[in-house]
Amino acid sequence: SQQGEEDPQALSIQEGENATMNCSYKTSINNLQWYRQNSGRGLVHLILIRSNEREKHSGRLRVTLDTSKKSSSLLITASRAADTASYFCATDSHSGYSTLTFGKGTMLLVSP
């Protein structure tokens, strides 16, 4: 069963704009991870944020976590055409285990 739900399911923007994707989950978590997947390819790990962290940055990526609302957001600033991909949030699916339950994903299209 899916733990995370991404919103929106699809997002289309122009190069240079910012893209924000949201993720909500249902049960308590130890950490939340964001992944990118180019069409037909494997998953690339972007950021891991722990339950005691509120915000994390990596280059043009900014992730926030609100455990009281059971939600997270991924912000990509100054987007590029190469950012076109599906983005998934994933949470622990087995208590204490580093396994992942993925949300449905957001498909991001960045047009030149």
What is the contact surface with other proteins in residues (CB under 8 A)? 2, 30-31, 33, 35, 40-45, 48, 50, 88, 92-105
Nearer residue to other proteins within complex by CB, 43 or 75: 43
Q: How far is the CB of 16 from other proteins (least distance, A)?
A: 27
Nearer residue to other proteins within complex by CB, 62 or 104: 104
Q: How far is the CB of 76 from other proteins (least distance, A)?
A: 19
Angle at 83 between CA 59 and CA 64, to 5 degrees: 50
Q: How far is the CB of 95 from other proteins (least distance, A)?
A: 8
Nearer residue to other proteins within complex by CB, 36 or 71: 36
Nearer residue to other proteins within complex by CB, 59 or 112: 59
**DSSP for 26-73, written as a single string:** SS--SEEEEEEE-TTS-EEEEEEEETT-SEEEETTEEEEEETTTTEEE
Query: Measuring CA to CA, which residue among 94, 79, 87 is closest to residue 8?
Result: 87
